Amino acid sequence: MDNTINITPNGTYTALQEAYDLFNKELFNSSLPQVLITMQRQKKTFGYFSPSRLENKADNAERVHEIALNPATFKNRTDKEILSTLAHEMCHLWQEEQGKPSRPGYHNNEWASFMESLGLMPSNTGKQDGKRTGQQMTHYIIESGLFDTVATEFVTSDTPALYQDRQEENKAIKKKAKKNKIKYTCAGCAANVWGKHGLNLACINCNMVFVPESIEDEALEDEL
């Protein structure tokens, strides 16, 4: 088998669509409709399902569901873990089409049992000690379960690469740049200025020197 990966940014959408079609066939018996798969940077979530979110501009009676994945969460997760989020949201789609969903955002027992039958264990902590149902819910992959088997076949095949968000890397660069400057405080009026290490500054109003913060204070401020 040729394992050459097709490296192209649009390949991420191709990979996700191919994964969706495979999961639909192998996990859902081809019972799910097509949806629009998008990439959305919604905070504190790996992804979400939004029923009937979009409509045809030419015919607004035609509606389509959306499944969104957050590329900012890709960096520290394996491809299989990323795709498990897709399957997680497909379970919400299944429940919307064929089951009985609860209030928006709530993961009920029907959804949890279906997830488990596919080899994904619901857990609000992502670990074995987590609750199976609730408002905020993630999951973990059951080793050698149905999803694990199907997803392993997919990620080891000739599929396009997934592209991850550089947002966290950019944050680290900005943080490093910030650490190159420290805070100086006037010993008289407590006014603050920021500048590089080793400056000799004086306050014109107070005729007092600016005192640099300690290295310990700087490290604490950055961590917070």
Per-residue pLDDT of the chain (224 residues; tens, 9 = 90+): 444 434 455 678 999 999 999 999 999 999 999 999 999 988 889 999 999 988 888 888 889 999 999 999 998 899 999 999 999 999 999 999 999 999 988 999 999 999 999 999 999 999 998 999 999 899 999 999 999 999 999 999 877 778 888 765 555 445 555 556 788 898 888 888 888 877 888 888 888 888 887 533 322 233 32
> What pLDDT shows up at residue 134?
94
The answer to whether residues 110 and 49 belong to one domain is yes
> What pLDDT shows up at residue 214?
57
Are 133 and 113 within 8 A, CB to CB? no
> What pLDDT shows up at residue 220?
26
The answer to whether residues 130 and 184 belong to one domain is no
The answer to whether residues 102 and 192 belong to one domain is no
The pTM score is 0.71
Residue 117's nearest CA partner among 29, 20, 15 is 29
The answer to whether residues 182 and 103 belong to one domain is no
> What angle, rounded to 10 degrees, do the helices at 11-28 and 79-98 form?
60
> What pLDDT shows up at residue 37?
95
> What pLDDT shows up at residue 38?
94
The answer to whether residues 109 and 44 belong to one domain is yes
Residue 86's nearest CA partner among 102, 70, 101, 98 is 70
The answer to whether residues 98 and 202 belong to one domain is no
CA geometry: angle 215, 219, 220, nearest 5 deg = 115
> What pLDDT shows up at residue 216?
33
Phi and psi angles of residue 118, each rounded to the nearest 5 degrees, phi first: -95, 0
The answer to whether residues 101 and 202 belong to one domain is no
Q: Is residue 188 part of a domain?
A: yes
Cα distances (angstroms) measured from residue 68 to each of 35, 49, 51, 89, 98 = 10, 6, 11, 8, 20
Q: Is residue 6 part of a domain?
A: no
> What pLDDT shows up at residue 104?
87
Q: State the DSSP H helix or E strand holding residue 4, giving kind and residue range, or none if neither.
A: none
The answer to whether residues 203 and 156 belong to one domain is no
CA geometry: angle 115, 98, 40, nearest 5 deg = 65
Q: Is residue 99 part of a domain?
A: yes
> What pLDDT shows up at residue 178?
55
Neighbours of 64 (CB within 10 A): 14
> What pLDDT shows up at residue 151?
97
Residue 46's nearest CA partner among 147, 139, 119, 120 is 139
Residue 85's domain comprises 11-165
Question: What is the domain count for the chain?
Answer: 2
Q: Is residue 76 part of a domain?
A: yes
